[in-house]
Structure 1
């Protein structure tokens, strides 16, 4: 019996180790770090050898100096941008999922409003931003709506496709069992759609940062977008590049968080499930 207990105690250990990055992931990270390092070295050499002025293209060392010197300013600017991007991410994806469900269960609604969604997507976001500023004012609201609009369409398209990518045999089985539409949705469709939804979320989590920054360009006195414009007008190229790098770090962090959530939620092989 003692042997059996030891085996039962040791059984969960593989699950703990399974959440750690595997050899393929570590190799991909290593190659990415190597490629980034080589790019920075090449960048430094080109700027140094050709004597490019720092106000045009700063060297990586100049950008690193700006990051160290202006770190409190960058963190202060990042806070409102992260807030706007996060709220826009929640708003845009929530509305997109609700609309996707209505499209799947009501063909008339889809035929009426899918072209409207496509039309909104085709309008450049920089053209919508001034209109939203006029309607919603100069506060945080237009930035959130702009970020939400950028998130909306990818999630809508992928969610509709995911909700419909259901094994017909499973639907037939649920029909035989007299399952309701709600039961079919909760037990079949949502599991089928999760891989598609997370693919869209990984796109929108990076795009919502861009939406927040665009909103700040139209009118703001704080945020990453405001600091970008200020650095450009001051011809402070090192701070400009440092601000761009800060925006990239925010987007990459959001992508990593969504990827970890996907790994935690989807514990089956989506290909095998199909």
Structure 2
């Protein structure tokens, strides 16, 4: 109990300490506010514009969640196919790796051409960055099984479908959820990057317009909301993991 409380309180106190030092240093040095505003100023702007920021955050989070779901459903089925056919995995893995190593910011203009400047291109950007962790971890999880357990299943003449449903899939759930938590955070980043190109709403749009107008305080409030969205999504996936993979110690 004490360890859990310590894990909770430590980052809170560290964060508060950083904010106090930040406030103090900027105040006594008269550092230009357009470069680094004080936390108190950022907090005041966050409260004053909270409804507007919440609206734009909701849009970004929706794009991220839809992209996340599309990417991970697709990644799951591809991971299953790769597990059952090494020929297919060998042939297509280089394309998967190449897709992941291509910066999403470089792909964003192309996604706008393909899916339009509306919500579709943002969902596609979120899906692209969410796809890779799940397919890699999924294949690893489906292949990492106890050989003795596999031999036992085979000794009872279990079919490939039964082995998959009763052995491979339950064993791989922890691997999948580790990837899903990473994908959850990445999907928010992907959606924001997508909004940098041809958007008129969303957190990415707020960050971009505030950059053009040198509204640093507004930019910080948008960054805070984007971090909150990513943490919320990560937390939701973590909560689901604890309910689904209940035999795993956390």
Same fold (TM over 0.5): yes
Q: Equivalent residue of 1:267, what SS?
A: coil
1:229 partnered with 2:232: no
Counterpart position of 2:55: 76
Aligned-pair distance for 1:263? Answer: 1.1
Give the TM-score normalised by structure 2. Answer: 0.97
Name stretches of at least 5 consecutive residues in structure 1 with no aligned partner: 1-21
Give the TM-score normalised by structure 1. Answer: 0.89
Counterpart position of 2:86: 107
Q: What pairs with 1:135-150 in structure 2 (closer than 5 Å)?
A: 135-150=114-129
1:262 partnered with 2:216: no
1:240 partnered with 2:209: no
1:157-210 deviation digits (Å, cap 9, x = unpaired): 101000011000111111111111111111101111111111111111001000
Q: 2:41, 2:233 → 1: CA distance?
A: 27
Counterpart position of 2:13: 34
Aligned-pair distance for 1:269? Answer: 3.6
Aligned-pair distance for 1:25? Answer: 2.5
Contact 1:158 1:200 in 2 (8 A): yes
Q: 1:23, 1:163 → 2: CA distance?
A: 36
Counterpart position of 1:206: 185
Number of residue pairs matched?
A: 250
1:182 partnered with 2:161: yes
Name stretches of at least 5 consecutive residues in structure 2 with no aligned partner: none
Q: 1:122, 1:25 → 2: CA distance?
A: 37
Q: 1:108, 1:84 → 2: CA distance?
A: 34
What's the RMSD between the two structures over aligned residues?
1.2
Counterpart position of 1:48: 27
1:25 partnered with 2:4: yes
Q: 1:168, 1:270 → 2: CA distance?
A: 23
1:117 partnered with 2:96: yes
Q: 1:266, 1:79 → 2: CA distance?
A: 29
Contact 1:81 1:213 in 2 (8 A): yes
Pick the structure with greater CA Rg: 1
Q: 2:4, 2:161 → 1: CA distance?
A: 38
1:133 partnered with 2:112: yes
Q: Which 4+ residue blocks in structure 1 deviate beyond 6 angstroms? A: none
Q: 1:23, 1:154 → 2: CA distance?
A: 33
The counterpart of 2:147, out of the listed 168, 175, 181, is: 168
